[in-house]
Structure 1
C-alpha cells in the first residue's frame, strides 16, 4: 500500500465540515484497486518521497513546481533497476500515484499541467530519436509453432513436465495471465463432452468467467489432454484438491517444504507464484532456442495473435480472453497481427 499519513488527521481539502474518510471506508476503497496497481503505486510513491527528502522538498502536499522538477528528473535519468530510460507510461503512472496519495490523505492533488508539458516533450523527443532503447519491450507471442517447439523440450512422463505442458497449453487456450493461471484450483475444472470448462477469475476486469476450452486437433498440443494428464498424475501423488499448478522438486515430490533460515516459506499447499509460472515460460522458450522476449505474457499475446490470424473477430477473442470490450491492448495486438494480412495497400493497384 502507498505509505501516507492517516487521513483522519489530515487537513480536509474541501471547504465543508464533513469528516474525513474512516479507516473502514479507506480499506473498502483500497479493495477496489488491483494488487498489481497497489504495488506499482507504492513503489512510485516511495521513489517520489525519497527524492523529495534528498532534495529538501515536501512530498505531501506537493506543489506543482515539485512535480515538474520530479518529472524532469524522470525524463533525464535512467531507471536504477534496468538502466533504461523511463517509458512515458511509467512517468504517467508516477504522476497518478502522487495524485492518488494526495486524495487518500484528503488533500488537493498538485496541478499537473506543467508536468504533462514536460512529459509531452519527452515523449516527442523519444519518438524522434529512433533510439532502440526507447522502444517498448513487448513479449514475443507464443504462437502454435513456438508452443510445439517448447513442448518438445519437456519430459512429459514426469510430473514436472506434465505441469509445465499443462501450464503452457492452458495459459494459451484461456489467454490467461500468469496470476490467473496460478490462482486455479483443481475444483475450477469441469470436464464436458466438448472439452474443459475452466472457472477463471479475470483480475483486470474483476469477473469470474467460465472459459470453454475444446479439444485440440493435435493430441500432443491439446490443452484438454495436457490438463487431464496433469490432474491424473496429481491424483496418483495424493493431490485431489487444492492448487492446479504446484511446486514439484527434481524427485517428483509435490509441494516439497521450502525453508529460509529454518523458517517455512512459500504457499503451504505448494501453489506456484506468478513469478514461478512466468519463469516456466522463459526457461522452456530458452531450452527450445527461441529468439525474442519470452515472458508469462507471451501465452496471452500468442492466443490473441493466433486467434486474429485465424479470422476471429475482436469481440469473440476479447470475451474469451477476459479483455474489456474495445480494449486498447487487444486492439494493439490486432494491429500487429493485421499489418500484413489486412494491409491497407492490398488490392489498391500498385
Structure 2
C-alpha cells in the first residue's frame, strides 16, 4: 500500500475510540470497487515516482507541486479524463491522511482547462468506443461457431450485453440463476451495478427475438444447456474457456469480456475494429432503440442510467441529429 493509496480508515490499536475490527476494515475495503482501487494505485504510483524524481513532498503536496505535476501530464498529452482521475486520486489520498482541504487544486485545474483548449485547437477529440449497432452485432455473431462451447458463450455475451445495455462489470457478475425464462422472453437479475451501490438489485426484461442467431432467449438457453451438459448447474454464467475449447472453473473478468468483444470485432473485419470494447454493446442498444423510436425514459430505465445522467443522451443524440435535422425536407 502506498502513502497515497486511499484507505478506508487508519487503525490505532492502543486507542479503542479509533480502532476498527478486522471485519469492519474488510467491509470498508470492499466498499470501494476493485477497478477504482486499481486506478488509484496506478495514479498514486505515478505521482510518487514523479515527486521523488523532482525532490517534492507527496503528503501534503503543495499547490505548486500539484500544478507542476498536472503540467507534466499535459506535456505527455494525457487525456483530460486521465488527468482528472490523477487529481482526484491525490485529493482523496490527502483527505484520507487527514489533510483536509489540501492540496489546493485551483492552479492545477486552470492548467487542465488550458490543456483541454489546446487539444481542441489541435483537432483532438474525446475518444469514444464505437457503438455495436445491429449490423455490426450480426457480423460479429457470424464469426462465432454455435457448435462449440466458445461460440455459444460468445453469442450469449454479445446478445446479453447488447439487449441488457450492460456494463462489462454487470456481465462478469452474472450467475446462472440470475436468468429466468418467461412466456414473453427472459428476465435477468443484476445484483449490483455502478448506479446501484446499495446492491438493491434490478431486473432487466428482454423480449423474445425474431432472428434465431440473435434471439436472446434462444441464444441464452442454448448456452445454459451446454453448461448443464458439462455438469455445471450454478456459478458464473459467462465461463472461462481455454484455447482447446475446454470449460474452466470461474467466470470471465470484465477485462476478459472487453478483449473478447474486440477480438470478435476484428474477426468480423468491421471498420476500426481495434477500437471496439464491451462498452460498445452498452452504447449500441440505446442507439438502435432510438432509431426504432423508443422514448428516452424507457431506454434510460432499461439501461439502468441515473435519471439525471446525461450519458444516455450521448448515444441517442447522433440518431436525433439525422432524424430530426432541421435541414431535412426543406428542398435542398
Same fold (TM over 0.5): yes
Counterpart selection for 1:305 from 287, 306, 323: 287
113 and 183 in structure 1: CA distance in 2 versus 1, 3 angstrom threshold: same
Cα–Cα, structure 1 residues 348 and 100, in superposed 2: closer, same or farther, change >3 Å?
farther
* Aligned residues of 1:2 and 1:101 also touching (Cα < 8 A): no
Which residue number in structure 2 is paired with residue 82 of structure 1? none
Mapped partners of 2:34, 2:310: distance in 1: 21
- Where 1:212 maps in the other structure, the secondary structure is strand
Partners in 2 of 1:212 and 1:73 — Cα distance?
48
* Aligned with residue 323 of structure 1, among 283, 302, 305: 305
8 Å Cα contact 1:158-1:252 kept in structure 2: yes
Q: 2:278 matched to which residue of 1?
A: 296
CA distance in 2, matches of 1:9, 1:238: 46
Counterpart residue number, 1:95: 87
- 1:45-87 Cα distance to aligned partner (Å, 9 max, x none): 111111101100000000101011111111112xxxxxxx211
Q: Aligned-pair distance for 1:43?
A: 1.2
Q: Secondary structure at the match of 1:220?
A: coil
Report deviation, 1:9. Answer: 8.4
Aligned equivalent of 1:74: 73
Superposition pairs for residues 1-350 of structure 1, below 5 Å? 3-4=3-4, 8=10, 30-77=29-76, 85-108=77-100, 109-130=102-123, 134-206=124-196, 207=199, 208-255=201-248, 269-292=249-272, 293-346=275-328
Deviations 1:272-296 (A, max 9, x none): 1212212221111111110122111
CA contact (8 A) 1:254 1:270 kept: no
Aligned length: 319
Preserved contact between residue 142 and residue 298 of structure 1 (Cα < 8 Å): yes
Alpha-carbon shift at residue 3 of structure 1 (Å): 4.2
Change in CA separation of 1:316 and 1:136 when aligned onto 2, cut-off 3 Å: same
Distance 1:31 1:253, change over 3 A: closer
TM-aligned CA deviation for residue 202 of structure 1: 4.2
User: In 2, are the aligned partners of 1:197 and 1:210 still within 8 Å (CA)?
Assistant: yes
Partner deviation per Cα, 1:23-52 (whole Å, 9 max, x = no partner): 777765554433222221221111111110
In structure 2, relative to structure 1, the CA distance for the partners of 1:27 and 1:231 (3 Å cut) is: closer
Question: Which shows bigger deviation, 333-342 or 167-176?
Answer: 333-342
Go from structure 1 to structure 2 and tell me whether the alpha carbon gap of 1:61 and 1:250 turns closer, same or farther (over 3 Å shift): closer
Deviation readout 1:124-148 (Å, 9 max, x if unpaired): 1111121xxx322211111111111
2-structure distance, mates of 1:348, 1:29: 60
Contact residue 20 and residue 106 of structure 1 kept, 8 A: no
What per-residue deviation string (whole Å, max 9, x for no partner) do you get for residues 192-214 of structure 1? 11111101134211241111011
Q: Secondary structure at the match of 2:158?
A: helix
Equivalent pair of 2:11/2:20 in contact (CA under 8 Å): no
CA distance in 2 between partners of 1:282 and 1:313 (Å): 30
Deviation at 1:225, TM superposition (A): 0.6
Counterparts of 1:150 and 1:279, CA distance in 2 = 14
Q: CA deviation at 1:4?
A: 4.0
User: C-alpha displacement at 1:348, in angstroms?
Assistant: 6.6
What's the counterpart of residue 263 of structure 1? none
CA distance in 1, matches of 2:286, 2:222: 26
Distance 2:232 2:119 in 1: 52
How far does residue 320 in structure 1 lie from its aligned partner after superposition? 0.7
Gaps of 5+ in 1: 11-18, 78-84, 256-268
Residue by residue over 1:128-173, the C-alpha shift from the partner in whole angstroms, topping out at 9 and shown as x without a partner, is 121xxx3222111111111111111111111111111111001101
| Partner Cα separation in structure 2 for residue 150 and residue 8 of structure 1 | 49
